[in-house]
Amino acid sequence: MPESSINPWSSTPSLDVEKTFAEFGIDPIAPILSELPEIPYFMRRGIVVGQRDYLPIARAIRNRTPFYLLTGFMPSGHPHLGHLMLMKEIVWHVQQGATGYVTIADREAYAVRGLSWEKCREYGKEYLSCLYALGFEGKTYFQSKNNRLKDLAFEAATKVNFSELNAIYGFSPETALAHADSVITQVADILYPQVEGEPAPTLVPVGIDQDPHIRLTRGIANKFRMFIVEERDGYISVRSKNAPDSALDAIKKAFPYAKKYEGHIDIRGAGCDDVSAKVREIERVCGGYAFYTPSSTYHIFLPGLTGGKMSSSIPESLISFFEPEAVVRKKVMSGLTGGRMTLEEQRRLGGEPNKCTLYLLNMFHMVTDDAELAEIHRKCCSGEITCGQCKRETADRVVAFLKDFKEKMDVAAERIEV
Ligand code: TRP
Ligand code: SF4
């Protein structure tokens, strides 16, 4: 039986966010926000809500120390508004000092969705032009073209067996080997910045459906470590997992007051951060990767205009970046609202913005000014505005946004060579 109720490849939406977080040990992001020098609107508005180990990332932002951001897109169709949130999270973190990496998961699209390499390339380039249009600066690659990544995936594959894959993803004897390969490629993606560069905290912003990959990768990152460093009562314990003796000796040498025992060293009079840094350095010299366990954030999904998930498999649910104006207007005008059955009821009871796909579209992307958004919320709840008018205003915003964005994408497309 799969231990997980999250399946990265299903199109069923609306997981109960809080319940899922509690079940899988994802923490809320709110308590950490005060660590950030500036809180972006998507965290303020509760769109990016969950995290694992975001504290080291927030501190790296505040202290201007190095960290990476890596995330990816599966090029299984044209990019659409449902992808925009993640792209903004990427760009914001890079502006906050992250070294950014974006992977185009063409191996996954080929293995799991059956797309041709040609289609993967075409869609992948579209994703990249969206990112550049938003101002992304950083590294990008297609999985299938990155040999170092594929070697890393192979090494990582020595740390997983089929019963684990079965437990995490519900894989069965019928699952294609390439599907498993795409999973381990994603693991390698997440560790890749620390292999191409020096080890450093790495943030992986994702939607909650990707959490199984995060859990798997965090486990594998730890399995790669030679040592476990732990703060104990009054001292730091450094335990060897599979470190060569020479590495243990080097640690003893680096800390004069250290006591060396069989397979572990106890260090007094040094801080945990200093010991951890030194241990990583020695691990690297001895041929290890010394990975930081990757951190993650989780955003809720922009609902599709038809209610459920905004998904390429339901054309009416989404607005792509290539949609002609008339189609955009038509889709917005037929979007599912939180309005009442009759105009009279709407005036009397007001609408329900939090159940309205168009309100959420405004909250996610179309209304950046908090006061303006609050005013829409108020007018909706008090019944002062009708859905018809509100939808027309939303359509105008979307059309204006797309016009500007499309121009930027066209400029960006010229930068992309694949
Ligand atoms: N599986 C992700 C998706 O379906 C794409 C992806 C590939 C990814 N590699 C990644 C996401 C690494 C985050 C980190 O969209
Ligand atoms: Fe949605 Fe606007 Fe109608 Fe309120 S008034 S339910 S926000 S469309």
Q: pLDDT tens, 59-108?
A: 999 999 999 999 999 999 999 999 999 999 999 999 999 999 999 999 99
Q: What pLDDT shows up at residue 1?
A: 36
Predicted confidence at residue 5, as pLDDT, reads: 57
Return the best residue to mutate from 84, 106, 210, 218 for the ligand 1 pocket (most ligand atoms within 8 A of CB): 210
Going from the C-alpha of 207 to that of each of 6, 153, 204, 279, 329, the distances in angstroms are 11, 22, 10, 33, 27
Ligand 2 mean position, distance from CA 338 (Å): 6
Q: Closest ligand 2 atom, CA of 335?
A: 8
- Three-state secondary-structure class, residue 55: helix
Give the rounded distance of the alpha carbon of 32 from its chain centre. Answer: 17
Pairing state between β 68-73 and 99-104: parallel
The H or E element containing residue 203 is strand 202-207
Structure tokens at 299: 């955003």
Q: Is the CB of 103 under 6 A from ligand 1?
A: yes
Residues of the chain with pLDDT under 70: 1-6, 10-15, 418
Measure the CA angle with vertex 245, ends 244 and 246; round to 5°: 90
CA distance readout (Å), 26 to 13, 21, 50, 89, 387: 18, 5, 6, 18, 36
State in Å: Cα 15 to ligand 2 middle.
Answer: 24
Residues having CB within 6 Å of any atom of ligand 2: 337-339, 351, 353, 356, 358-359, 380, 385, 387, 390-391
Token digits for 206? 């994702």
Any idea which ligand is nearest the CA of 375?
Answer: 2
Residue closest to 99 by CA, chosen among 62, 64, 138, 132: 138
Query: Distance (Å, rounded) from C-alpha 54 to C-alpha 40?
Result: 15
Q: Which of 241, 192, 200, 238 is nearest to 217 (CA)?
A: 192
Instruction: Tell whether ligand 1 has an atom less than 6 A from the beta carbon of residue 190.
Output: yes
* Ligand 1 atom having least distance to the Cα of 8: 4
Q: Which atom of ligand 2 is nearest to the CA of 381?
A: 4
Q: What pLDDT does residue 11 have? A: 54
Residue identifier of the C-alpha nearest atom 4 of ligand 1: 74
Q: What is the pLDDT of residue 9?
A: 75
Rg value, the chain, Cα: 24
**Distance from C-alpha of 159 to C-alpha of 150, rounded to nearest angstrom:** 15
Backbone torsions φ then ψ of 178, nearest 5 degrees: -65, -30
Distance from Cα 182 to the centre of ligand 1, integer Å = 10
pLDDT tens string 203-217: 999 999 999 999 999
Q: Is 220 in the pocket of ligand 1 (CB under 6 A)?
A: no
Backbone φ and ψ of 101, nearest 5°? -130, 130
- Predicted model pTM: 0.94
Task: Give me the residues paired with residue 140 across strands.
Answer: 102
192, 100 Cβ separation under 8 angstroms: no
Q: Determine which residue's CA is closest to atom 6 belonging to ligand 1.
A: 72
Distance 371 CA to ligand 2 centre (A): 17
Amino acid at 240: S
Alpha-carbon distances of 265 from 126, 231, 287, 378, rounded to whole Å: 52, 12, 20, 62
Residue-level pLDDT at 10: 64
DSSP 7: -
Length of the chain: 418
DSSP designation for 303:
B
C-alpha 64 to ligand 1 mean position (Å): 27
Cα separation, 400 vs 184, whole angstroms: 41
